Structures are given as structure tokens and as C-alpha cells.
Amino acid sequence: MRTAVYAGSFDPPTNGHLWMIERGLELFDTLYVAIGSNPSKKYTFDVTTRIEMLRAALPQKNNLIITKFDNKFLVDFARMVDAHYILRGIRSSSDYEYERVMRQINGDMASEISTTFLMPPRNISELSSSMIKGLIGPDGWRDIVSQYVPEPVMEKLAELHVAK
């Protein structure tokens, strides 16, 4: 069994994340989508809401497990779920440099776990959760943002904006 972990904050999930997950499901027998917590980050959505958004945006599949992990290195979480692969996306040269370094550090900590990199297609290669959050607010934001996030995420973003 080829098991992989695709980890991130998913705050909020984007169409780029969904593309990575769909490709990961094609490549691996089991894919864990794991929401990690970074104490230095301020999140828009709590982890439960991020899990709910991912579940609502993705078809239910036996080989897809959406979960979270706290206070662990990613390789330790991968070991815990018996994954031998980490799936990562590279959108730009700056992503490449960051991911290259992380791959080396992860390899130092767990040489038995390989990192697989995917490059999304051009139409979603610039997507990031931060970019999405930065588009919210001005007149017409819903039309713009709805192009980049799945419908369940758009609904949560709209609810959040109305609540402010």
C-alpha cells in the first residue's frame, strides 16, 4: 500500500488544494489530508471548520482521510499513520526553495519517507489561502473569490464577511 500525507493549514481550502488532493488520490492508495497547527499563525477558521469545508468540497472516498495533527513534526505524523510519502505542491520558485529545504530536513529526520512534488496547472498555480483572504471585502469580491474556492468554502467566507 502506498500511503501519503498532504498537509497544510487549508485556511481556507482552495481549488489548488483540491487539485493536489485529486492528483494525490490518483497516485497513492491512501491519502491523509492533514491539517497542521502552527502556533505562530493566526487562523481565520478553526480546525473543525476547515475539516468540514474539505469534507463538503470533496467526494467521499474510502482512500481519503481528512484529519488534523498537533504538536508533531510532519514526518512523525506520517510515521504514525504508516505513510511513506509526503505530498507537496510547488507553485513558484520561492515555493521550490522552501520545499527543497523542508524535504532535506524531513529526510534527515525520517529517511524512509519520500517527498513527492506536484506542480499545479497555470490557472491555479498562483492560488494561496492568503491570496484568497486578501481579496475579500471590496465590492465584487464574491465574483472574484468564487472562481478560486469550492462552493462550500465560498459559503463560509460569505458568512464570515457578513458577520464582521
pLDDT along the chain (164 residues), means of 10: 96 96 98 89 92 95 96 95 97 92 96 96 87 92 95 93 65
Q: Are 116 and 27 in contact (CB under 8 A)?
A: yes
Q: Which overall architecture, per CATH, does domain 3-163 show?
A: 3-Layer(aba) Sandwich (3.40)
Residue 73: predicted pLDDT:
94
Residue 161: predicted pLDDT:
78
Residue 164: predicted pLDDT:
55
Q: Are 108 and 77 in contact (CB under 8 A)?
A: no
d(CA 93, CA 51): 29
Domain boundaries, the chain: 3-163
Query: 69: closest CA among 34, 44, 113, 41?
Result: 34
Residue 127: predicted pLDDT:
83
3-state DSSP percent of the chain in helix, strand and coil, to 5: 45, 20, 35
